[in-house]
């Protein structure tokens, strides 16, 4: 089967199912596992954003939305050349990946046959597991998908069992964007809950929103998890120092003074693939190091003094 994945999460799922050799095309953002970078790039960003600050990226996205201009585009000629049997796309975020509408439109225009186009829109951890099974079914690998979901469920169960006896839940604030300040949504508040905390500034399975610093000060989180969407660790550290630690409100928060600020590789929490459980393990280890020392895969998170 010839598979074209137009979002990083689906690409990670394809590889986790052992189907990387069937992947004939990817999006510009597909970078994990490293072999994904060797595949032909089918979708591109209209603007190069990697060198811009959080504030500059947000301004570009807001302008694109206001003028109804696309953020991404598909190389129709390359898609025709690749002749995929299965195209994986999404309906969750127009910022992170091309929308399903553009995929259907481009495929109808450039292909002289009808490939299967599978669009996913997860909100919860269970949705992510369901999407793994859906992709496995479409890629003719249902047994592998069931096995993968089963192994992920076992890791979730391990975290839950390790929290037995803990009654008080810590207040957690997970930051999805730095300027403007935004909380996380969809599955991340659920992961916090499963890791033994409570995300009082976000809605479980809901959407991300801008958060006022007055809200954060009133909430006084015990832990701050900085996970700016699509930023790798080094960029997350740099931006957090510029956009968070320089704010006067930052000095009035207890979590930084207690050393309870953790930075996550932002390319992982925002993706709804198998590594979402890595994030759960990272959250659990950050909040309960005595119970989960060494649980999370290396590089997922780090404790950081931003001063």
pLDDT tens digits for range 53-73:
666 665 555 654 555 555 678
What confidence tier does 176 reach under pLDDT thresholds 50, 70, 90?
A: very high
Check residue 148 and give its pLDDT.
98
| pLDDT of 51 above 60 | no
pLDDT tens-digit series, residues 240-272:
999 999 999 999 999 999 999 999 999 999 999
| pLDDT of 100 above 90 | no
Check residue 110 and give its pLDDT.
95
Check residue 78 and give its pLDDT.
97
What confidence tier does 307 reach under pLDDT thresholds 50, 70, 90?
A: confident
Select from 70, 3, 14 the least CA-distant residue to 40: 3
Share of the chain above pLDDT 70, in %: 89
CA-CA-CA-CA torsion sign (197, 203, 209, 211): negative
Check residue 57 and give its pLDDT.
61
Check residue 71 and give its pLDDT.
62
Check residue 66 and give its pLDDT.
55
Average pLDDT of every residue of the chain: 92
Check residue 50 and give its pLDDT.
56
CA–CA separation, 150 and 26 (whole Å): 27
Check residue 47 and give its pLDDT.
54
Q: Output 210-213 pairs: Cβ under 8 A, ≥24 positions apart.
A: 210/180, 210/181, 210/182, 211/181, 211/182, 211/183, 212/181, 213/181, 213/247, 213/249
Determine the average pLDDT of the residues in 192-203. 98
What confidence tier does 153 reach under pLDDT thresholds 50, 70, 90?
A: very high
Share of the chain above pLDDT 90, in %: 84
| pLDDT of 92 above 90 | no
Check residue 73 and give its pLDDT.
85
Full set of structural domains in the chain with CATH? 3-121 (3.40.50.1980), 166-303 (3.40.50.1980)
Check residue 45 and give its pLDDT.
75
């Amino acid at each position: 089967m010839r598979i074209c994945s137009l979002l990083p999460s689906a690409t990670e799922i394809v590889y986790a199912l052992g189907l990387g050799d069937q992947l004939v095309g990817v999006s510009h953002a597909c970078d994990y596992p490293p072999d994904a970078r060797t595949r032909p790039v089918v979708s591109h960003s209209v603007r190069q954003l990697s060198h811009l600050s959080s504030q500059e990226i947000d301004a570009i996205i807001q302008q694109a939305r206001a003028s109804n201009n696309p953020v991404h585009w598909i190389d129709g000629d390359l898609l025709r050349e690749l002749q995929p049997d299965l195209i994986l796309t999404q309906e969750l975020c127009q910022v992170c990946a091309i929308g399903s509408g553009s995929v259907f439109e481009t495929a109808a225009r450039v292909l002289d046959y009808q490939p299967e186009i599978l669009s996913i829109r997860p909100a919860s951890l269970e949705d992510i597991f369901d999407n793994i099974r859906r992709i496995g079914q479409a890629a003719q690998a249902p047994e592998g998908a069931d096995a993968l979901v089963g192994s992920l469920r076992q890791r979730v169960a391990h975290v839950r069992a390790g929290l037995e006896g803990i009654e008080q839940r810590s207040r957690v604030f997970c930051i999805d964007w730095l300027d403007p300040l935004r909380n996380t949504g969809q599955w991340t508040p659920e992961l916090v809950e499963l890791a033994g905390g409570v995300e009082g500034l976000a809605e479980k399975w809901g959407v991300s929103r801008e958060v006022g610093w007055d809200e954060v000060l009133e909430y006084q989180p015990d832990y701050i998890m900085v996970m700016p969407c699509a930023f790798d660790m080094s960029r997350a550290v740099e931006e957090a120092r510029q956009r968070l630690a320089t704010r006067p409100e930052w000095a009035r928060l207890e979590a930084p003074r207690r050393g309870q600020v953790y930075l996550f590789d932002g390319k992982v929490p925002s993706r709804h693939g198998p590594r979402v459980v890595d994030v759960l393990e990272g959250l659990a280890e950050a909040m309960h190091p005595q119970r989960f020392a060494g649980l999370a895969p290396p590089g997922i998170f780090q404790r950081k003094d931003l001063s």
